[in-house]
């Protein structure tokens, strides 16, 4: 049985670094690609319009949990392929 602790509202990720979504207080973020036919690349940046830390491509219809320590002050954004 999987458990999920909801601590904030569901939110669509932006498509550029200038409007990156901050998950400063989160230790885990659940990412869902709703469109079953489209893959998306999720990129982690330190600050809005900042340098990339890393990225991953998620297939359409997939669900991933991105984990970090609460002290890691990262932002997340989505690029549409």
Range of the domain at 30: 17-80
Chain position carrying tokens 């890393």:
54
Domain count, the chain: 1
Q: How confident is the model at residue 64 (pLDDT cuts 50, 70, 90)?
A: very high
Q: Quick check: is 6 in a domain?
A: no
Q: How confident is the model at residue 77 (pLDDT cuts 50, 70, 90)?
A: low
Q: Quick check: is 10 in a domain?
A: no
pLDDT value of position 59: 95
76 to each of 1, 2, 3, 27, 48, how far by Cα in Å? 27, 24, 23, 13, 9
Is 51 within 8 Å of 20 (Cβ atoms)? no
Backbone φ and ψ of 18, nearest 5°: -65, -20
pLDDT at 5 over 70: yes
Q: Quick check: is 5 in a domain?
A: no
Q: Quick check: is 8 in a domain?
A: no
User: Structure pTM?
Assistant: 0.73
Q: How confident is the model at residue 73 (pLDDT cuts 50, 70, 90)?
A: low
SS3 state at 18: helix
């Amino acid at each position: 049985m999987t458990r999920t602790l909801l601590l904030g509202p569901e939110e669509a990720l932006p498509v550029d670094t200038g409007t990156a979504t901050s998950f400063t207080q989160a230790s885990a973020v659940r990412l869902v690609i709703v469109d079953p036919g489209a893959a998306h690349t999720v990129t982690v940046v330190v600050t809005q319009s900042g340098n990339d830390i890393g990225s991953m491509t998620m297939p359409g219809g997939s669900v991933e949990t991105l984990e970090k320590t609460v002290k890691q002050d990262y932002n997340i954004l989505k690029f549409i392929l």
